[in-house]
Amino acid sequence: KPPVSSQLQSQPNRSSFGIAFDIDGVILQGRAPIEGSSQALRRLYDDSGVLKVPFVFLTNGGGIPESKRALELSQLLGVNISPAQVLQGHSPFRNLLSRYENELIVATGKGDPALVMSEYGFKKVLSIGEYASCFNNIDPVSQYKAWTNDNVFCLSSCLKDLGPNCDVLSERVQAAFVISDPVDWGRDIQVLCDILRSGGLPGRSGGHQPPLYFAADDLEYQAAFPLERLGMGAFRIALESVFNRIHHHPLEYVSFGKPNPFVFDNAEMMLKQLLLLHRDVRGMDDKRYPQSHSFGTLYMVGDNPSVDIKGARQAGHPWFSILTRTGVFKGEDNDSSFPADVVVDTVEEAVDYILSRER
């Protein structure tokens, strides 16, 4: 592999730049920071801890509200991360609020999927565990699951949360959301099939399949185990295969997250807001960063060629892709299907490269 210095291209005269960091496999491995990631991020702040370079985390992961994730990342990495810097796979679900604000919806995934949705403003959201507990025997093997406490929920507590006018046993679910990697695939596939093929109410018939939204479609991702782990895309394939065998209409769904171009457009918008904020904080000359300012380069630092690099390539200018070797990609050279603009070993090396290129 050529050293980073020889990969440096001619120094472009950029007006400004920003960075989007993937989290799993770039910044963290499981819950542990990847060596050098916290030092790399610290270089993007000045001595008084004020952000010098606008950056966001652009992850397909999630399961907890952005504000909580920002706090968690700040503690883990020792830098001050604001909720605006955390773009998770499910963050765009907040744009569906006008459609489902007062409708009964079900959310699944690790963490606290119902809390995520209620913080976005959805008023009648139940986690799939809460929802399942309203239907006796919906999961025929639940008694064998010593590790789950879903059975502690009861119908009356679900009803209390949703208000007096909601009866889970007679109201149709209007949409289902997969917020983060599901924990109990068996139960979730069963209950989602029940909801989706019945038109929103297990046991009833008729009605069109309610919309199903996935926060991302990663087949695999890098967690703490040395080999990649099955992600939300694998769960989607499992659900779709089963559903299409037991129902006469194929599963309809929408997947959000990288590599969709709108995710990169949204990241660009957030980075611009951070840049303008940074300008205001520092009292910079407005002429340098006017409201209409556009970035010279936006760097996507990721570990997954078919997600991070494909996304940045599709998004086009001003995106520039940097692939690390700390996650899904472990190759010597570049990825053959989705080659990055630059390949480095670690995020520390990526930041080094960016700062030298932008000097």
Give whichever of 194 and 348 is closer to ligand G3P, judged by the CB atom. 348
Give whichever of 34 and 176 is closer to Mg ion, judged by the CB atom. 34
Beta strand 124-127 pairing with 86-87? unpaired
* Region of 16-24, 282-290, 311-319, 333-341 interacting with ligand G3P (CB under 6 A): 16-24
Among 216, 270, 300, 350, interactor with ligand G3P by CB under 6 A: 216
Task: Name the DSSP letter for residue 94.
Answer: G
Question: Minimum distance between the CB of residue 256 and ligand G3P, rounded to whole angstroms?
Answer: 12
CB 54 within 8 A of CB 307: no
Question: Minimum distance between the CB of residue 10 and ligand G3P, rounded to whole angstroms?
Answer: 31
Secondary structure (3-state) at 342? strand
Among 18, 20, 21, 22, interactor with Mg ion by CB under 5 A: 22
Window 122-181: residues binding ligand G3P (CB under 6 A): 181
Backbone angles phi, psi at 246, to 5 degrees: -110, -5
Distance between CA atoms of 237 and 193, rounded to whole angstroms? 13
Q: At what angle do helices 232-246 and 185-197 cross, to 10 degrees?
A: 50
Other beta carbons less than 10 A from residue 240's beta carbon: 16
Give whichever of 181 and 184 is closer to ligand G3P, judged by the CB atom. 181
Beta strand 229-230 pairing with 220-221? antiparallel
Other beta carbons less than 10 A from residue 68's beta carbon: 17
* Region of 55-63, 159-167, 199-207, 339-347 interacting with ligand G3P (CB under 6 A): 55-63
Question: Minimum distance between the CB of residue 179 and ligand G3P, rounded to whole angstroms?
Answer: 11
**CA gyration radius, the chain:** 22
Residue 200 binds ligand G3P, judged by CB under 6 A: no
Question: Minimum distance between the CB of residue 221 and ligand G3P, rounded to whole angstroms?
Answer: 4
- Which residues of the shown chain bind ligand G3P in the complex (CB under 6 A)? 22-25, 59-61, 181, 216, 218, 221, 231-232, 304
